[in-house]
Amino acid sequence: MTIGQDLHLADHRDSHSTFKQVNGTNGHASNGAVPNTNGHASKKQDGFGTRAIHVGSEASSETGAVIPPISLSTTYKQNGVGNHKGFEYSRSGNPNRNALEQTLASIEAGGAEAIAFASGSSTTANIIQSLGPNAHVISVNDVYGGTFRYMTRVAPTTQGLQTTFLDLQDLSEPSSPSSPSTEALLSSITPSTKLVWVETPTNPTLRMIDIARLSSILTAHSQQTGLPRPLILVDNTFASPSTPPLSSVPTSSYTLSPNTSTVTPTSSWVLSSSLPDIPYPLLSSPKKAA
C-alpha cells in the first residue's frame, strides 16, 4: 500500500535515517528549487543493489562483524527511567527489527521510514485508524477481500468509516477529456475524503492502475476545487520493493511473503513512507507512533 503526497517526512530521527541528502532535499525531488549543496558537489544516491545489501547491515562498531548479530533480549538495561541506548523492551524496539525496517525503507524509491507489522490485517487496521473518525475512503473496486471486509464490516462500526469502491483502471490524463472512471473518481471526492486506496496489480485479478496518473488527477482536482488532496495508498504486495511505486506516490505497504522472504514463508507486512507532516500520526511519524 502506498500513500503519497508531495511532502517530506517530519520525523527524521538520526538513528533511523536511511537516505543520504541528495541536492539538499533529503533524497526527494526539489520541485524546481535550486539545489542547496552548500558549495559542494551533491552526493549521488546509492543504487538499489547497494542499498539492499548494505543499509541496515552496517559493520558492528564493537567487533567489526559484517553480519548483524541476532538480538534475543526481551528487555534492555536503562541507566534511569527513560534513559537508555535506544532500546527498552523488544515490543517497542529491537535491533534486528530496526535493521530490517531500515533496509526496506531504503530500497523503496524515496522511502525514509518503515514499520514492520506482524500481519496485513494489523497494517490495514493501523492505517485506517490513523484517519480518525467519520473519514471517507475511495478504494479500487477489486481490492483484496480482507481489506474489503475491514472497510465494510469493521471500520464503519468502530470509527464511522465510509468507503466508495470504484473502477480505477482506465483513468484519463487531467488535460484530456474525462473517462467514465475519472468522472466517477472526481464526483466521489468529498471534504471528508482522506485516502485513495489502490492495488496494482490488484489481488487477485491482476488489473493495473496508473498511480502516477491518479496522483496527477487528484492534484489537479485539489487545485481547481480547493479541497484537500486525498492521500494515495498503494498496496504493493505483488510487486514488493523490487518495483517500488514511491517515486510518484511515496508510501508503500507490502507483505514479506512470498516475494521478499525467499527462504521462510512469513505473514509479516511492512509500511514504508517518505511522507511529511500530515494529520495522521501513524503515517507522518511511524517510528514515534510504533
Strands 113-117 and 269-273: antiparallel
- In angstroms, rounded to a whole number, what is the distance separating the alpha carbons of residues 242 and 252? 12
Domains of the chain: 14-28+49-55+70-289 (3.40.640.10)
pLDDT in tens, 156-200: 999 999 999 999 999 988 878 889 999 999 999 999 999 999 988
Task: For residue 233, give the C-alpha cell.
Answer: 495508498
Spatial separation of the C-alpha atoms in residues 188 and 235, rounded to whole Å: 21
Q: In what order do the strands lie in the sheet with 193-199?
A: 113-117, 269-273, 251-255, 231-235, 193-199, 136-140, 162-166
pLDDT > 80? residue 69: yes
Q: Is the pLDDT of residue 46 over 70?
A: yes
d(CA 255, CA 30): 31
Higher pLDDT, 245 or 177: 177
Q: Which residue has the higher pLDDT, 72 or 255?
A: 72
Is the predicted pLDDT of residue 112 greater than 80, yes or no?
no
Q: How far is CA 145 from the centre of its chain?
A: 21
Residue 238 amino acid letter = F
Q: Which amino acid is at 50?
A: T
- Tell if the pTM clears 0.85, that is, is over it: no
Confidence category of residue 149, pLDDT binned at 50, 70, 90: very high
Handedness of CA 57, 61, 67, 73 (dihedral sign): negative
Given a cut of 60, whether residue 271 has pLDDT beyond it is yes
Phi then psi dihedrals of residue 157, to 5 deg: -80, -40
